[in-house]
Structure 1
Amino acid sequence: MDVDLALVGFGGAAALTLIELARAGVPGLRVATVDPAGLPEDGRADHGRRRTWAFWTGATDDLDPVLDAQWPAVDLHGPSGVQRLDLGPGRYAMVRSEPVFAQALAAADRLGSVNIRAAAGTLADDGSAVEIRDESGTTVCRARWVLDSRPARPVKPGHTFWLQHFRGWWVRSADPIFDPASAVLMDFRTPQPDRGVSFGYVLPTGATTALIEYTEFSPARLGGDAYDTALTAYTRLWNLKNLTIDEVEDGAIPMTDGVFERRPSARVVRIGTAGGATRPSTGYTFSAMRRQARQIAELVKNGHDPVPDAAYPRRHLWMDAVALHAWDSGLVAAPDFFERLFRRNPADRVLRFLDGRTTPAEELALMASTPLVPMTRAAARVTF
């Protein structure tokens, strides 16, 4: 089977790319998806792909019809107290993966995409096309271009390799105990690990429903019942009682200044986390995946190679490397770092920085608001 574009691995990055390709309406584009589980049926993110994505957005968004919740303000509980951040005219928004996958299925249908149920093994690139071979070595598809969203390790290790690892409870209460107009973005009142940082989230979807999450930035995941123990303690901190847990969501996202190979061969392009979409200092990924998807669709529509720009400027990645090293080495406590960042800068500036959209002048102001002496020491270590 010969196609123009093959999406290897079917997660959020591939789903968003299908949606944007269908929206671009490229005549005659031949597309295939290659994944051992295939495309999910009826729009449900089965086979371990169920996710919740939170992201910063403006006054309007293409995903508005399917958002689970949105908040014009968020609270940050730092070492010196609570700070409410007014996000206007922007918003913090949350969407579950089911409607996104449903849109991707509809997009695949409009594109006439071929659904190949196979675990991709070798991607044999001869410079003019790529043979996608399964684990037995059998060719399942031949594509002019491959967009590969499967997990990949850095080709060059960085100074720091942490994980953002978490567990979330989707809860409901018989009483209206949540404020749907505001979310708790970071609550650092959780017990802090010896190496790393922890915090809680409270993301209300209504007066009686919310996603409550315990998150750590640290070198390794927790074992046993540690996540549930931490979540139980966190709900007690808020005096939340008589909660019914409807669903549990787990995850781990790499946080590293290691170098990922975004283009391992001439016609293979990595997207999603493997393609550098995850912000090293925060773990945010969704907005960058959307930017990659939109740019790929625009490039294909205009007859160009589907190779998106780097998700973040190099200077941002350097700043992330400095921050990670400062936290990991104990030079700076992450709760203090984030609190100072939000207290000494307009919320809009911080959010645009987290999204990779600030100017060098704004970044100088952001850097000046952090603890200068220890951050300068961390910068020197990372640089030299």
Structure 2
Amino acid sequence: MHPTPVEVDVALVGGGGAASLVLAALDRHDVTGLRVAVVDPVRKRGQDRTWAFWGAPGGDLDPLLSASWSEVDVVTTAGRRVLPLTPLRYAMLRSAPVYDRAAAAERRLGAVRIGAPAGVLADDGHRVAVHDPEGRPLVRAGWVLDSRPRPPARPGRTSWLQHFRGWWLAADRPTFDPGRAVLMDFRTPQPARGVSFGYVLPVDDRYALVEYTEFGPAVLTDAGYDAALRGYAGLLGLDLSGLRVREVENGVIPMTDGPFVPRPSPRVVRLGTAGGATRPSTGFTFSAMLRQAEQVARALAAGRPPVPAPAYPGRHRWMDAVALRALDRGHVSGVEFFERLFDRNPPERVLRFLDGVTSPAEDLAVMRSSPLLPMTGAVLGDAAGRLRARVRRGPAPVPGAGSRAAGRAGP
């Protein structure tokens, strides 16, 4: 605990995946002369999560990857569809090398590590005071990058969760196909409300992550996840008596059209899920976090405010709200939605869409591939919901009337 607040240019509040990517990006862009602090009571290390994402080979993360695949499977009760991904690839990244790289970057940047929880952020428009939960000041910074998880600013019209459990399975003999991952396997029993699927990410022929995932309004019990994983292992033809569970991964990710505020005050910027990096219709987050980190580092290297662009275009957030509403109201089944998405679009377009980087023309093609009549009903329902919400909130405030304008000065 520091007796007086540390003065820095940038404070990272939260030291997880989003902050780790920012530290690595600052180091990669050789940002010098910048005073940096990391505020988190826990120093992240080891394998506590796995990220899977797609992109072109040859990136900065390549040396850290556990595995990558140039084709993936999407499986339904109708059969198996093999999706060639070239020029992209699907990649798996475990957390330990990300945290190790961030720790090395932290040392090279000369960052101050403050091992205390952060509480209130007091932004006066010029600097931000970071307090602990008891109100004691820890840091004063020109900018704060806050990646602590938080709920949306207000509840969404649809609020689901992506929730999952995965087993890292080890075998004594060749069991898995390391050349191909299973992206989505919809042969799992489907819940009454929502959609479920399994997937398989093999590191080699004797070691793989086998996971069960649901999109829906509520999580399962521990026994429920384990039963679902045993059932999915049976669908894969795996004999669990001959396999060892080395690790277990669990997770819950918000899927909601509720708004996340990426810049709650002039000099506080939120990153990760709190900054809108989670795609509401799928729960995918990592690629957007990576974009945020790169944009923050480039801005600071150029002496600009570290404010990344919105994680997803407004039209994608609207499409996500419509899709969530259609799935939640039962206008379309989740299996049908994803099956048609992959069946009627080139794989690269689907992956680019899920990452939020497609053009308006590509988005139109994706919309045409969805079940049009039920989705139209969802569109009308979404528009009515937006209108009702706008009426309840009243007219928008006039900019500058009783509020502080967001500053653009550098750190």
The answer to whether the superposition gives a TM-score over 0.5 is yes
Per the alignment, residue 355 of structure 2 pairs with: 355
RMSD between aligned residues? 0.9
Q: Match of 1:44, as an amino acid?
A: G
Task: Note the alpha carbon deviations across 1:71-99, whole angstroms, 9 max, x for none.
Answer: 11110012422111000111000010000
Asked if the contact 2:23/2:105 (under 8 Å) is kept, the reply is: yes
Q: Match of 1:100, as an amino acid?
A: V
Q: Match of 2:313, as an amino acid?
A: P
Q: How many residues align?
A: 377
Per the alignment, residue 370 of structure 1 pairs with: 370
Query: Following the alignment from structure 1 to structure 2, what is the Cα–Cα distance between the partners of residues 316 and 202?
Result: 28
Per the alignment, residue 173 of structure 1 pairs with: 171
Query: Following the alignment from structure 1 to structure 2, what is the Cα–Cα distance between the partners of residues 59 and 135?
Result: 43
Query: Following the alignment from structure 2 to structure 1, what is the Cα–Cα distance between the partners of residues 64 and 231?
Result: 32
Per the alignment, residue 39 of structure 2 pairs with: 34
Q: Match of 2:280, as an amino acid?
A: P
Q: Match of 1:17, as an amino acid?
A: V
SS in structure 1 opposite 2:20?
helix
| Deviates further, 78-87 or 25-34 | 78-87
Asked if the contact 2:162/2:215 (under 8 Å) is kept, the reply is: yes
Asked if the contact 2:165/2:248 (under 8 Å) is kept, the reply is: yes
SS in structure 2 opposite 1:311?
coil
Per the alignment, residue 46 of structure 2 pairs with: 44
Per the alignment, residue 298 of structure 2 pairs with: 298
1:44 deviates by 2.8
Per the alignment, residue 251 of structure 1 pairs with: 251
Q: Match of 2:292, as an amino acid?
A: Q
Work out which of the residue numbers 74, 77, 101 in structure 2 matches 1:76.
74
Per the alignment, residue 14 of structure 1 pairs with: 19
1:223 deviates by 1.5
Asked if the contact 1:130/1:267 (under 8 Å) is kept, the reply is: yes
Query: Following the alignment from structure 2 to structure 1, what is the Cα–Cα distance between the partners of residues 46 and 344?
Result: 42
Asked if the contact 1:79/1:336 (under 8 Å) is kept, the reply is: no
The answer to whether the aligner puts 1:382 opposite 2:382 as a matched pair is yes
Q: Match of 1:115, as an amino acid?
A: R
Q: TM-score, normalised by structure 1?
A: 0.97
Query: Following the alignment from structure 1 to structure 2, what is the Cα–Cα distance between the partners of residues 59 and 7?
Result: 29
Query: Following the alignment from structure 1 to structure 2, what is the Cα–Cα distance between the partners of residues 61 and 230?
Result: 36
Task: Note the alpha carbon deviations across 1:200-225, whole angstroms, 9 max, x for none.
Answer: 01111101110000000011111141
SS in structure 2 opposite 1:70?
strand
Query: Following the alignment from structure 1 to structure 2, what is the Cα–Cα distance between the partners of residues 138 and 153?
Result: 25
Per the alignment, residue 126 of structure 1 pairs with: 124
Asked if the contact 2:32/2:109 (under 8 Å) is kept, the reply is: no
Q: Match of 2:114, as an amino acid?
A: I
Q: Match of 1:162, as an amino acid?
A: W
Matches within 5 A, 1:1-384: 1-37=6-42, 39-40=43-44, 43-44=45-46, 50-241=48-239, 242-384=242-384
Ranges in structure 2 where 5+ consecutive residues have no aligned partner: 1-5, 385-411
Asked if the contact 2:121/2:131 (under 8 Å) is kept, the reply is: yes
Q: Match of 1:267, as an amino acid?
A: R
1:338 deviates by 0.6
SS in structure 1 opposite 2:204?
coil
SS in structure 2 opposite 1:120?
coil
Query: Following the alignment from structure 1 to structure 2, what is the Cα–Cα distance between the partners of residues 263 and 291?
Result: 16
Off by >4 Å, runs of 4+ in structure 1: none
Task: Note the alpha carbon deviations across 1:92-130, whole angstroms, 9 max, x for none.
Answer: 000100000000001000100000011101101111101
SS in structure 2 opposite 1:290?
helix
Q: Match of 1:67, as an amino acid?
A: L
Q: TM-score, normalised by structure 2?
A: 0.90
Asked if the contact 1:79/1:335 (under 8 Å) is kept, the reply is: no
Larger radius of gyration: 2
Q: Match of 1:29, as an amino acid?
A: L
Query: Following the alignment from structure 1 to structure 2, what is the Cα–Cα distance between the partners of residues 231 and 44?
Result: 24
Asked if the contact 1:331/1:378 (under 8 Å) is kept, the reply is: yes
Q: Match of 1:13, as an amino acid?
A: A
Q: Match of 2:12, as an amino acid?
A: L
Q: Match of 1:343, as an amino acid?
A: D
Task: Note the alpha carbon deviations across 1:254-293, whole angstroms, 9 max, x for none.
Answer: 0011101111111111000000000111111111000000
Asked if the contact 2:164/2:250 (under 8 Å) is kept, the reply is: yes
Query: Following the alignment from structure 1 to structure 2, what is the Cα–Cα distance between the partners of residues 18 and 361?
Result: 35
Ranges in structure 1 where 5+ consecutive residues have no aligned partner: none
Task: Note the alpha carbon deviations across 1:334-365, whole angstroms, 9 max, x for none.
Answer: 11111111111100111111111111111111
SS in structure 2 opposite 1:132?
strand
Asked if the contact 2:21/2:102 (under 8 Å) is kept, the reply is: yes
Asked if the contact 2:162/2:254 (under 8 Å) is kept, the reply is: yes
Asked if the contact 2:199/2:210 (under 8 Å) is kept, the reply is: yes
Identity over the aligned pairs, expressed in percent?
60
Query: Following the alignment from structure 1 to structure 2, what is the Cα–Cα distance between the partners of residues 161 and 105?
Result: 35
Query: Following the alignment from structure 1 to structure 2, what is the Cα–Cα distance between the partners of residues 325 and 383?
Result: 11
Query: Following the alignment from structure 1 to structure 2, what is the Cα–Cα distance between the partners of residues 227 and 52?
Result: 18
Asked if the contact 1:124/1:130 (under 8 Å) is kept, the reply is: yes
Task: Note the alpha carbon deviations across 1:179-203, whole angstroms, 9 max, x for none.
Answer: 1110111011101111111100111
